[in-house]
Amino acid sequence: MDETKLLIIGINGQLGSALRKKYPRAQTTDVAQLDITDKQAVDNFNWQNVDCILNAAAYTDVDGAETDTGRQAAWSINAVGVANIVNAAIKNDITMVHVSTDYVFDGRQEVHAENEQFSPLNVYGQSKAAGDIAVSLTPKQYVLRTSWLIGEGKNFVRTMLSLGKQGISPQVVNDQIGRLTFTNVLVEAMGHLLETHAPYGTYNVS
Residue 124 bears catalytic tag: yes
Residues 134, 115: Cα–Cα separation, whole Å: 16
Residue 118 has pLDDT above 90, yes or no: yes
Phi, psi (rounded to 5 degrees) for 20? -60, -40
Residue 174 has pLDDT above 80, yes or no: no
3-state secondary structure of 205: coil
Residue 48 has pLDDT above 90, yes or no: yes
How would residue 1 be classed by pLDDT, with cut points 50, 70 and 90? confident
CATH classification of the domain holding 116? 3.40.50.720
Domain range for 49 is 3-204
Residues 165, 42: Cα–Cα separation, whole Å: 43
Residue 61 pLDDT: 92
Total count of domains within the chain: 1
Query: What digits encode the pLDDT tens for the residues 128-151?
Result: 999 999 999 999 999 999 998 988
Query: What digits encode the pLDDT tens for the residues 8-36?
Result: 999 999 999 999 999 999 999 999 999 99
Residue 160 pLDDT: 77
Task: Write down the catalytic residue from 124, 142, 200, 203.
Answer: 124
Residue 127 pLDDT: 98
H/E stretch holding 136: none
- Give me the torsion for CA of 132, 115, 188, 177, rounded to 10°: 90
Give percent of the chain above pLDDT 90.
80
DSSP-derived secondary structure letter, 81: I
Mutual orientation of helices 68-75 and 123-135 as an angle, nearest 10°? 10
How would residue 179 be classed by pLDDT, with cut points 50, 70 and 90? confident
Per-residue pLDDT, averaged over 91-99, amounts to 98
Query: Mean pLDDT score of the chain, rounded to an integer?
Result: 93
